[in-house]
A and B are shown apart, each in its own frame.
Chain A
Amino acid sequence: MPGANSAAKMTATPVTRVLGVSALAATALMAVLGLIVSPPDVIQGEAVRMLYVHVPSIWIAYGSFALTSTSSVLFLRRSRRRADQGRHYDRLAGSAAEVGVVFTAITLITGMLWGKVTWGTYWQWDARLTTTVLLFVTYLGYLALRRLPAEPTVRSRRAAVMALISFVNVPIVHYSVDWWRTLHQKASLSVGRRPEITGEMYWTLLYSTLAVTILATWLIIHRYRVIRLEELRDEEGLEALIASRLNKDVGSH
């Protein structure tokens, strides 16, 4: 069955297998480097290890959301004339947003834990933290919109427009929140001095970013495939439906 063959191809190719194994290995090495090899910070102590997850996560989150927006623009351009064009951009936008949301959540959790250690409180009305929460909720809304039971083309188009607007909004939100915190409350709490990042810490951070990027890429590819497979399942059902409608037709004459 050609359908089954292509479906099998979609879940495993040599390239993605290698990518998957590298993601696993890279993450393991990252744990070793971050937890054992790199030294504790002079001021922040062991808590600094959170940095190796926190910083790459937010970078991946922003990167994923940028990918979502770019794909959405391309999708809107391609599907302008023909509703059935550009579906792959839509799938890419969706899978990137899912991965982005997961990494935003990781950023928030590690950020709050870090806050507990350095500021003594989980939540500080820090501009970056507040912006990130709003970003998180925005893209949760985006995913909610994508999941709705509506006509696929309508849903994709609405989601693409939303992704675009949300991305334009990121600087507005960031700017206004930043301004809100700096304009009125002249730093009541010093917002955690950034640790000096040098030597092993620097290299570990750089390496972690690479490892997490590989992991995220692998995740996005797989989410893309799952979405594609779901569509294939629906399409096969569709072909069966057309066939059964036509057969019924032939049968009645």
Chain B
Amino acid sequence: MSAVVEFERAISVVGSFPVLTGLDLRVDQGEILHVRGENGAGKTSLLRACAGLVSVSSGNASVLGFDMRVDRRAPRRYIGLLGHENNLYRDLGVREHIEFRAASVGARASDTAAALEQVGFPQQLWTVPIGSLSAGQRRKVAIASLLVGRPQLWLLDEPHAALDTESRKNLDAILTEASTSGATIIFVSHESPGTKDIASRVVTMDGGRITEDPGAD
């Protein structure tokens, strides 16, 4: 198994706050990693560091084979990041939005319909402006926006939030399928997702470090 994410004693500072304080983590291809921890434990920062949005100032960090301390932009196009925010243009129609996201990562706009169907988004709302959707529906659009880009690494921040039980199950199915076809998934939530945990490994973060990792040697 090749490592998709490898962090060694990684330290990250945002503003004047240390968000990662010597973090060690290795995630192999095809894994579904669930990162748990209290608010402020550094879970979101870990995702942003994996995405190259937060720089690692000391220690080692590599993602998808790219050394993040040399060029943290390089792996981005292979990564799908879903943060707290949905990254949606509220004035665009649902379909327009996903077509834009698809084109912006070099994917085919023709996959839009398939992605929307996969997340179970009702077809009669495809042309509705995003601003008029409910929170749960927006989350689905955001997930479809990621799906259409077929990322090799999924970074999800509380992906189940705002979704109902049915949609959560649906999301879990999507993630499991992605991992079977070779994608790697890291998701963060401070609680159990409410459905049967699909994770192949669960680690716990506290104070900017991994404190419990069954995979660590």
A and B touch in the complex (CB under 8 A): yes
Give residues of chain A (216-240) contacting chain B, Cβ–Cβ below 8 Å. Answer: 234-235, 237-238
B206 to A, closest residue via Cβ = A249
**B207 and A249 contact, CB distance less than 8 A:** yes
B211 within 8 A of A: yes
**A237 and B16 contact, CB distance less than 8 A:** yes
**A151-B15 contact in complex given A81-B70, A252-B206, C-beta closer than 8 Å:** yes
* Interface size, chain B (Cβ < 8 Å): 18
Complex CA gap A252/B209 in Å reads 13
**A249 and B209 contact, CB distance less than 8 A:** yes
**B21 and A238 contact, CB distance less than 8 A:** no
**B209 and A234 contact, CB distance less than 8 A:** no
The residue among B13, B22, B70 with the most chain A CB atoms within 10 A of its own CB is B13
Give residues of chain B (192-217) contacting chain A, Cβ–Cβ below 8 Å. Answer: 206-209, 211
**A248-B207 contact in complex given A83-B55, A83-B57, A242-B21, C-beta closer than 8 Å:** yes
**B16 and A152 contact, CB distance less than 8 A:** yes
**A238-B69 contact in complex given A245-B21, A245-B207, A246-B21, C-beta closer than 8 Å:** no
**B208 and A245 contact, CB distance less than 8 A:** yes
The SS class assigned to the A binding surface is: helix
A184 within 8 A of B: no
**In the complex, which residues of chain B have a beta carbon less than 8 angstroms from the beta carbon of A196?**
none
* Interface size, chain A (Cβ < 8 Å): 19
**In the complex, which residues of chain B have a beta carbon less than 8 angstroms from the beta carbon of A81?**
70
**In the complex, which residues of chain B have a beta carbon less than 8 angstroms from the beta carbon of A84?**
57
Give residues of chain B (73-91) contacting chain A, Cβ–Cβ below 8 Å. Answer: none
The residue among B11, B207, B208 with the most chain A CB atoms within 10 A of its own CB is B207
**B13 and A238 contact, CB distance less than 8 A:** yes
A193 within 8 A of B: no
Q: Which of A82, A238, A253 lies in contact with B16, CB distance below 8 A?
A: A238
Give residues of chain B (34-68) contacting chain A, Cβ–Cβ below 8 Å. Answer: 55, 57
Complex CA gap A238/B206 in Å reads 17
Complex CA gap A242/B21 in Å reads 7
**In the complex, which residues of chain A have a beta carbon less than 8 angstroms from the beta carbon of B16?**
152, 234-235, 237-238, 241
**A245 and B18 contact, CB distance less than 8 A:** yes
**In the complex, which residues of chain B have a beta carbon less than 8 angstroms from the beta carbon of A246?**
21-22, 207
**B18 and A238 contact, CB distance less than 8 A:** yes
**In the complex, which residues of chain A have a beta carbon less than 8 angstroms from the beta carbon of B70?**
81
Q: Output the least CB separation between B70 and chain A (Å).
A: 7
B11 to A, closest residue via Cβ = A242
B58 to A, closest residue via Cβ = A84
Q: Output the least CB separation between B149 and chain A (Å).
A: 26
**In the complex, which residues of chain B have a beta carbon less than 8 angstroms from the beta carbon of A249?**
206-207, 209, 211
**A152 and B15 contact, CB distance less than 8 A:** yes
Complex CA gap A132/B163 in Å reads 59
Give residues of chain A (178-234) contacting chain B, Cβ–Cβ below 8 Å. Answer: 234
Would you give the 0/1 interface string for B1-45, flagging 1 where the beta carbon is closer than 8 Å to chain A? 000000000010111111001100000000000000000000000
**In the complex, which residues of chain B have a beta carbon less than 8 angstroms from the beta carbon of A252?**
206, 211
**In the complex, which residues of chain A have a beta carbon less than 8 angstroms from the beta carbon of B206?**
248-249, 252
A248 to B, closest residue via Cβ = B207
**In the complex, which residues of chain B have a beta carbon less than 8 angstroms from the beta carbon of A238?**
13, 16-18
**In the complex, which residues of chain B have a beta carbon less than 8 angstroms from the beta carbon of A82?**
55, 57, 69
A247 to B, closest residue via Cβ = B207
**In the complex, which residues of chain A have a beta carbon less than 8 angstroms from the beta carbon of B18?**
238, 241-242, 245
A253 to B, closest residue via Cβ = B211
The residue among A83, A151, A245, A248 with the most chain B CB atoms within 10 A of its own CB is A245
Q: Output the least CB separation between A154 and chain B (Å).
A: 9
B residues near A (Cβ < 8 Å) are: 11, 13-18, 21-22, 55, 57, 69-70, 206-209, 211
Pairs A–B under 8 Å by Cβ, sample size 26:
A82-B55, A82-B57, A82-B69, A83-B55, A84-B57, A151-B15, A152-B15, A234-B16, A235-B16, A237-B16, A238-B18, A241-B16, A241-B18, A242-B11, A242-B18, A242-B21, A245-B18, A245-B21, A245-B207, A245-B208, A246-B21, A246-B22, A246-B207, A248-B206, A249-B209, A252-B206
Q: Give 15 A-B pairs besides A84-B57, A241-B16, A246-B207 with Cβ atoms closer than 8 angstroms.
A: A81-B70, A82-B55, A152-B16, A153-B55, A238-B16, A242-B21, A245-B207, A246-B21, A246-B22, A248-B206, A249-B206, A249-B207, A249-B211, A252-B206, A252-B211
